[in-house]
């Protein structure tokens, strides 16, 4: 029942014809058996890295991790990691095994892998190689360590976090002895490099419904900034956010909201998240909290009644309390203000976070998201740079050069967003005269 990837099949064939043992292994076998499409196909083989490079030719190979036995091979437009069968010792530095030994038998290689569902290999000749009952565990939805759990988590504590990551991804239960060892040894996670932690944490948070797998004790070690109370409060919000890698900043913001913008930045910087991810998450946290830094249940995201002043009345607050979501002028103002500050993707993430925080306003946020998409596609003016006049036009119209120019442009934008006049040259220049007169 494994529909083999074409490139992987080619590579296995080449290895077999040269007399080596070779299989696809790990995640791709697991995902195939689950009926999912693997995102990459890893191979393992008895060929040593040097032998693999000779067989495939240097120009097709990238020596990504020779000392660990891994060569990346280009085949049919794809990239494939081919790793020599190996065993490994402990991970003293929490990053790499201290020593790896190349071995001739795939079963020994499978024995060093973390969980039974990840410890299966396959090729067409031999079918499934499954010495630890991975297929049965897949069928009953169980995460179970290969071998003695205590020993496996002592060798590499990151496996504790991976345990919850895979359980969350598939909605699996954790076999009790494996869960018990993970709980007992979770303090060891603080010796694991922060890069490895971040990668697993991101994957855990990208699962369909991770809340049940955000274990208090384990999160306490990898995210000590977050109190147990804050974690408990964040859980339902995290699950209500969209899943998947692209929505990671939304999930992170939901989880870290209680830390505020600065705390969120500090925490994500400590975890060495990418700058883009830190910035995006921090913006969401900032917008979800008031200008005084507090979070208020009834304050719609990104709408600042103080900045809007009395002109817009209670704006969004009034709109969201209506039964049906309709696109009123105020709603458009709200969307345009947001698009003036952030790109469409961020505005849509804000709407997603708003929905998770205030599910009773889901329809409003959906409408906001749709409206923002349309405004953005139509190129509707939301920024000074989109105005039909620029600073030079203003100077030509008699506005004195200097910082005042920027102020006038912003006032013009405000009028355009409020639809007091259209974004047209003549209308804007007339408005300038009026501004000057007032």
Q: How far is CA 386 from the centre of its chain?
A: 31
Q: Of the candidates 252, 204, 12, 235, which has an alpha carbon nearest to the alpha carbon of residue 121? A: 12
Residue nearest ligand ATP (C-beta atom):
27
149, 178, 363 from 108: Cα distances, Å: 17, 21, 55
List the structure tokens of 388: 């039909």
384 DSSP assignment: G
Q: Which of residues 259-278 bind Mg ion (CB under 5 A)?
A: none
Provide the mask over 23-42, with x wherever binding to ligand ATP is found by CB under 6 A and - wherever it is not: ---xx-----------x---
In terms of CB distance, is 46 or 332 closer to ligand ATP? 46
In terms of CB distance, is 27 or 391 closer to Mg ion? 27
The yes or no reply on residue 118 touching ligand ATP (CB under 6 A) is: yes
Q: Of the candidates 83, 80, 54, 78, which has an alpha carbon nearest to the alpha carbon of residue 66? A: 83
In terms of CB distance, is 27 or 133 closer to Mg ion? 27
Residue 175, binding choice from ligand ATP, Mg ion, none, Cβ under 5 to 8 Å by partner class: none
Provide the mask over 142-181, with x wherever binding to ligand ATP is found by CB under 6 A and - wherever it is not: --------------x-xx----------------------
Q: How far apart are CA 435 and CA 253, in angstroms?
A: 41
Select the span of 111-119, 124-132, 205-213, 349-357 touching ligand ATP (CB under 6 A).
111-119
Q: DSSP 3-state helix, strand, coil percentages of the chain (rounded to 5)?
A: 60, 10, 30
Radius of gyration of the chain (CA): 28
Select the span of 24-32, 143-151, 237-245, 320-328 touching Mg ion (CB under 5 A).
24-32
Helix (H) or strand (E) holding 200: helix 194-205
Select the span of 26-34, 86-94, 335-343, 404-412 touching Mg ion (CB under 5 A).
26-34
Q: How far apart are CA 70 and CA 340, in angstroms?
A: 48
Taking the complex as a whole, how short is the minimal distance between the CB of residue 146 and ligand ATP, in angstroms?
A: 8
Taking the complex as a whole, how short is the minimal distance between the CB of residue 28 and Mg ion, in angstroms?
A: 8
List the structure tokens of 149: 């759990």
Judged by the rule CB under 6 A, the positions of this chain that interact with ligand ATP are: 26-27, 39, 113-114, 118-119, 156, 158-159
Judged by the rule CB under 5 A, the positions of this chain that interact with Mg ion are: 27
């Amino acid at each position: 029942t494994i529909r083999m990837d074409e490139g992987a099949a080619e590579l296995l064939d080449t290895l077999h014809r040269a007399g080596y043992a070779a299989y696809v292994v790990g995640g791709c076998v697991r995902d195939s058996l689950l009926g999912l499409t693997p995102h990459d196909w890893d191979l393992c083989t008895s060929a040593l890295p040097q032998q693999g490079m000779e067989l495939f030719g240097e120009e097709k190979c990238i020596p990504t991790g020779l000392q660990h036995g891994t060569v990346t091979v280009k085949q049919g437009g794809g990239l494939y990691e081919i790793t020599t069968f190996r065993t490994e010792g402990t991970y003293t530095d929490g990053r790499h095994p201290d020593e790896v030994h190349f071995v001739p038998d795939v079963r020994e290689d499978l024995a060093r892998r973390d969980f039974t569902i990840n410890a299966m290999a396959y090729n067409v000749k031999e079918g499934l190689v499954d010495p630890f009952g991975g297929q049965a565990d897949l069928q009953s939805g169980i995460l179970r360590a290969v071998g003695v759990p205590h020993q496996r988590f002592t060798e590499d504590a990151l496996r504790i976090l991976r345990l919850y990551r895979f359980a969350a991804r598939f909605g699996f239960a954790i076999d009790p002895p494996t869960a018990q060892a993970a709980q007992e040894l979770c303090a060891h996670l603080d010796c694991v490099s922060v890069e490895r932690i971040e990668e697993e944490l991101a994957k855990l948070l990208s699962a369909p419904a991770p809340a049940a797998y955000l274990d208090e004790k384990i999160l306490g070690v990898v995210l000590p900034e977050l109190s147990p109370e804050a974690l408990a409060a964040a859980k339902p919000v995290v699950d209500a956010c969209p899943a998947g890698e692209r929505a990671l900043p939304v999930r992170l913001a939901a989880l870290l909201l209680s830390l505020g913008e600065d705390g969120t930045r500090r925490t994500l910087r400590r975890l060495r998240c990418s700058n883009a991810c830190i910035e995006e998450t921090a913006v969401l946290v900032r917008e979800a909290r008031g200008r005084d830094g507090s979070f208020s249940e009834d304050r719609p995201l990104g709408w600042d009644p103080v900045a809007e002043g009395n002109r817009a009345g209670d704006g969004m607050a009034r709109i969201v309390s209506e039964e049906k979501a309709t696109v009123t002028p105020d709603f458009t103002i709200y969307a345009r203000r947001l698009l003036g500050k952030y790109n469409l993707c961020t505005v849509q993430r804000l709407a997603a976070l708003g929905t998770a925080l205030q599910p009773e306003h889901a329809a409003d946020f959906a409408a906001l998201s749709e409206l923002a998409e349309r405004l953005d596609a139509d190129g509707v003016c939301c920024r000074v740079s989109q105005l039909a006049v620029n600073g030079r036009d203003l100077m030509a119209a008699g506005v004195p050069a200097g910082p005042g120019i920027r102020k006038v442009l912003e006032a013009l934008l405000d009028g355009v967003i409020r639809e007091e006049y259209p974004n047209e040259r003549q209308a804007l220049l007339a408005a300038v005269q009026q501004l000057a007169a007032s």
